[in-house]
Structure formats: C-alpha cells, structure tokens
C-alpha cells in the first residue's frame, strides 16, 4: 500500500487500514478484513477521478489558459504553505480546462495530506432538494473547498443561489476554488455582493471567455 492511496482517506480510515495491513493471515477472519480494507481504498481512489500528469503540459498554451494554470499553481502552493487563505475563481466557456485544473489542484493537495472537499454544484442542488439546504450550508466549515460548475442549476425560485451565497459568505477567509461558466452578469443575478467578493480581500478571478 502506498502513501498515494493513504492520502485519499480520512485520518481514522488510515489508522484502521494500517492496523489491518499489519494483521497476520492466521485466520480466515483476518484475511477477510484485509481484503475488505484493500477494496475500500481501491474504491476511494477510483472516486477521485485523478487526471494523468501529461494532461497538464503548459508549453504552447494560449495566454488565457496559461493564466488559469498559473493561478491554479499559485493557489496550490499558497494552500500548502502558510499564506493567507483566499478564493480563486476560474471563469470561462465550456471546455477551456477549468474542471481539469481544479482536479489537478485537489490531487496535489491530497498528495500533501491537505484535506480538500470536491462539490459539483448542480449535483449538490439536486441533493439539497431532497435533504434541505443544510447540506450546502455544512460546506462552510471545510478547510479547502472546490465548487465545480458554480451556477449550474435550474432554480426559478432563487433558493439555491441564496443557499450557496450564504455558505460562501461564511467562507470568507477560507481556501475556496470555484469554477464557473457564468459571466459576471450571471453571477450578479445570483448575488450582486458575491460578484464583488470574488475579487475582494485578496481573492482572484481569472476570466477566460
């Protein structure tokens, strides 16, 4: 078992997994426990959807994509150091590489044992319709949060936008990476104050439309 696998699991799971790996095969029960533990971390690794390193070659990138990559690299380095937390927003058209970069940031944080929560906003809204807005609000306390595809929801009443805006207001001063296909006017429609905060307090917005 490698550290690349261990960093994909919460602390308690890592301790349990290490204990199981050291348990001798002196009983059928021990062998079954070990097999179950191995399958657990294999499944967790599959869930990460880690991209291949060769997908991040920067040579020859057009200026807009290069700016996004450099901003993502700076965010990763800062989150792994002792810098003051800030938000990074990657805004741009579909297919420009925002989500790929966000996965790359999360992968590097996890490799360094830095907890990082990944949320697809459209899927979270669907979940919130069943479980209530508390599942969105619970994200306010995560150490590092990636919000992929912000604004990708259908909500005629505006409750989803309000829930995300309230959660993000509580995350001021916390590491947050946002990807979005929404232009400024679309974000303003969700919450006018939110558009301003994407650049406030050292926050960075990279716009590639």
DSSP structural state of residue 54: G
Mean pLDDT of the chain: 79
Instruction: Write down the pLDDT at residue 158.
Output: 85
Q: Rounded to an integer, what distance in angstroms lies between the CA atom of residue 181 and that of residue 175?
A: 20
Compute the distance between CA of residue 160 and CA of residue 50 in angstroms, rounded to an integer. Answer: 29
Question: Residue 175 has what pLDDT?
Answer: 97
- How far is residue 2's CA from residue 61's CA, in Å, rounded to a whole number? 33
Q: Would you say the pTM of this structure is higher than 0.75? A: no
- Summarize pLDDT for 89-131 with one digit per residue, the tens: 999 988 888 998 999 999 899 888 899 999 999 999 999 989 9
């Amino acid at each position: 078992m490698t550290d690349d696998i261990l960093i994909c699991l919460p602390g308690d799971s890592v301790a349990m997994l290490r204990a199981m790996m050291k348990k001798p095969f002196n009983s059928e029960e021990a062998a079954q426990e070990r097999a179950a533990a191995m399958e657990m971390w294999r499944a967790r690794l599959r869930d990460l959807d880690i991209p291949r390193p060769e997908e991040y070659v920067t040579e020859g990138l057009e200026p807009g994509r290069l700016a996004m990559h450099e901003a993502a690299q700076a965010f990763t380095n800062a989150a792994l150091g002792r810098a003051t937390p800030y938000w990074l927003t990657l805004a741009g058209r579909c297919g420009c590489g925002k989500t790929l970069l966000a996965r790359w940031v999360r992968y590097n944080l996890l490799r360094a044992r830095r907890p990082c929560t990944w949320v697809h906003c459209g899927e979270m809204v669907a979940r919130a319709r069943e479980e209530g807005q508390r599942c969105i609000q619970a994200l306010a306390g995560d150490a590092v949060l990636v919000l992929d595809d912000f604004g990708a929801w259908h909500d005629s009443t505006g409750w989803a936008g309000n829930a995300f805006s309230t959660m993000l207001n509580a995350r001021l001063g916390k590491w947050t990476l946002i990807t979005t296909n929404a232009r400024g006017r679309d974000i303003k429609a969700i919450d006018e104050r939110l558009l301003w905060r994407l650049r406030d307090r050292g926050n960075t917005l990279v716009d590639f439309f």
